[in-house]
Amino acid sequence: MTVSFHKVKEAISSEKVKYGLKWVLLSTVVGGVIGCIAILFEIALVELTKAVELLTFGIILVLPIIGLLLSGLITGNVAPEARGHGTDAIIHAYHHEWGIVRGRVIAAKLTASIATIGFGGSAGREGPLVQMGGGVSSMIGQEINLSLRERKTLVLCGMSASFGAIFAAPLSGAIFACEVVFRDEFEYINILPCAISSVVGFLTYKTIFSLLGYSPLIDIPPISYAFDWPHIFIFLGVGLVCGLVGLLYVKLFYFIDRKAEGWKKPDWLKTALGGIVVSLLALLFMIFAIHEGDINNTVLILGMGWHLINLIGTDPLTFSLLFLVLLLIFKILTTCVTIGSGGSGGVVAPSIVMGGLLGGIIATLLGPFISFDMRVIIVVSSIVLFASVAHIPLTGMLLTGEMYGLPLIVPALLASVIGSWVASGDSIYHSSLVSREETLRIYKKFKEIK
C-alpha cells in the first residue's frame, strides 16, 4: 500500500512543525532553568544541615521553633501562598488562576522552606521546588506573552522538571505533573513538553551535582528480586495497608491544617506554636530513643528523614518492631504539625519515609514467611504510601523503578493501584480536580467574570 506525498505533507503541516519546535525550545529552557534552581536549593539545604549537625543535641531539638517562626514571618509578610506544601498551591494556580503565579511567591517559598526544613521541621524539599518550578515557568510564560492555555502547559513543564530533577527520576517527573492535576484522569496532551522538561531538568541537575561532588540522599545497596505468583497477594496486601494508613495520615494532616487556618492569629504565631509542638514531640520521643539504646535516634523524626530510609533499607533489622511503630507515629505527627501549622515544605519526602517505616513493620512481621529480600517490601512501601495519598499510581510505579531498580516496578504497580483505590476518599493534594468536568465549570465561571 502506498502513501501519497500530498497526504504526508498534510499530516506534517508547517504549523504543526512550528508548534513542535516551539515547545521543544520552551521545554528545554524551562528544564535547564529549573535544574539550576534545584541545585541552588539543594546546596543551601545540604550546607545548612551540615552546620546544624555541628550544634549540641539540646540546641538541635529547639531549632524547629526558630525555623517555623521564620517561615511564618516570611510567608505572612511576603506571600501567604508560600505556606504549607507547595505542590498543592501550584495545582491550585494551574486550575484556578490559569497558571499565573506572583514572582514574590518564588522568593518567599525558597527562604521559608530553607528555614523550615534546614532547622529540623519535618518536611520535604520537592514540594517547594515544584511550586518554585511552576512559578518560574509561569513568569517565563507571562514575559513572552503565551496564551493562557499555553501558560498552563508551561507550568506543568516546570512541575515535571522539578520532580524529575530532585528525585533523579526523569520518567517519573514526566508523568507526575500530568497525573497529579486530576485524580481520575490524565493530561495526555501535555506529556511531550513535560517529558522534555523533565529529562533536561534531570540532566542539568545530575551533571552539576556530580561536578560539585555531592552524593545522592538515598543510598541503598542494590536489591536482587524476581517477581513470582505468590507475590501478587503479598503486594496487594501491602497496597491495602499503605492506603489505609495513608488515608489516616491525610485526615490528620487536614484536621490540623483546618484548625490552623481557622485560628485568626498571625501566621508567625501559628508556625511558632507548631515549632514548639514539634520540639515537644522530639523531647517525648527521646524517652523511647534512650530505651532503644541511642539518644541520637531522637533526631530521626526531624527533617526530611532520608537517613531513616538508608538505615532500614540497608538493614531491615536496625530497629525493633516497637520502635519502628513509634517512629512511624511520631513522623506522622511531626509532619502534620510542621506543614499543617503553615510551615513551608513538601509532603513527598515525609510520605516516602512513612511508607518505608510502614514497610519495615510489614517486612518484620512477614519476614519468617517470605523467601525474598525483606528490603523489597520496605522500598516498595516507601513509594506506595505517597502514591496512594496523592492518587498517582503510574508515577509511583516508575519512581520505584528509577529509585530502587527496574525489577521492583511490577510489585510497585500492584500496590500503588490498590493503595490509590483504598485512599480514593481523600487526597494529600486537595487542589487536584476529579476530572475535566470541573475544569469546564471553572472555565465557564472565568468567562462570566471576564
In order of their start, the domains of the chain are: 17-211 (1.10.3080.10), 231-422 (1.10.3080.10)
Question: Out of 64-73, 310-319, 423-432, which region has the weakest mean confidence (pLDDT)?
Answer: 423-432
Mean pLDDT of 200-214: 90
Q: How many CA atoms lie within 13 A of 164 on its CB side?
A: 32
Which residues are bridge partners to 124 per DSSP? 346
3-class state of residue 232 by DSSP? helix
Of the candidates 132, 162, 128, 156, the residue with the CA atom closest to the CA atom of residue 31: 162
Please give the Cα distance from 342 to 34 (Å, whole number): 25
101: left (phi over 0), alpha (psi -120 to 50) or beta: beta
> Where does the pLDDT of residue 12 fall: very low under 50, low under 70, confident under 90, or very high at 90 and above?
low
User: What pLDDT does residue 188 have?
Assistant: 86
Q: What are 257's three cell numbers? A: 491544617
Output the 3-class SS for 130-170.
HHHHHHHHHHHHHHCCCCHHHHHHHHHHHHHHHHHHHCCCH
Contact yes or no for 320/97 (Cβ under 8 A): no
Q: What is the pTM of this model?
A: 0.93
Of the candidates 345, 335, 432, 342, the residue with the CA atom closest to the CA atom of residue 166: 345
User: What pLDDT does residue 26 have?
Assistant: 96
Query: What percentage of residues in the chain have a pLDDT greater than 70?
Result: 93
User: What pLDDT does residue 139 have?
Assistant: 93
Which residues are bridge partners to 182 per DSSP? 433
Question: Out of 146-150, 279-283, 404-408, which region has the weakest mean confidence (pLDDT)?
Answer: 146-150
State the DSSP string of 72-105: HHHHHHT-GGGSB-HHHHHHHHHHHSTT---HHH
Q: What are 11's three cell numbers? A: 499530516
Please give the Cα distance from 442 to 252 (Å, whole number): 29
Mean pLDDT of 152-156: 94
Mean pLDDT of 321-325: 97
Mean pLDDT of 252-267: 92
User: What pLDDT does residue 348 have?
Assistant: 93
Please give the Cα distance from 317 to 39 (Å, whole number): 34
Please give the Cα distance from 275 to 417 (Å, whole number): 35
Please give the Cα distance from 369 to 147 (Å, whole number): 58
User: What pLDDT does residue 20 have?
Assistant: 82
Mean pLDDT of 257-271: 92
Mean pLDDT of 56-84: 93
Average pLDDT, the chain: 91
* Dihedrals phi, psi of 84, to nearest 5 degrees: 75, -160
Q: Which residue has the higher pLDDT, 183 or 59?
A: 59
Please give the Cα distance from 336 to 354 (Å, whole number): 12
Mean pLDDT of 361-378: 96
User: What pLDDT does residue 433 have?
Assistant: 80
> Where does the pLDDT of residue 425 fall: very low under 50, low under 70, confident under 90, or very high at 90 and above?
confident
3-class state of residue 379 by DSSP? helix
User: What pLDDT does residue 437 have?
Assistant: 61
User: What pLDDT does residue 99 have?
Assistant: 81
Residue whose grid cell is 532500614: 312
Mean pLDDT of 78-92: 88
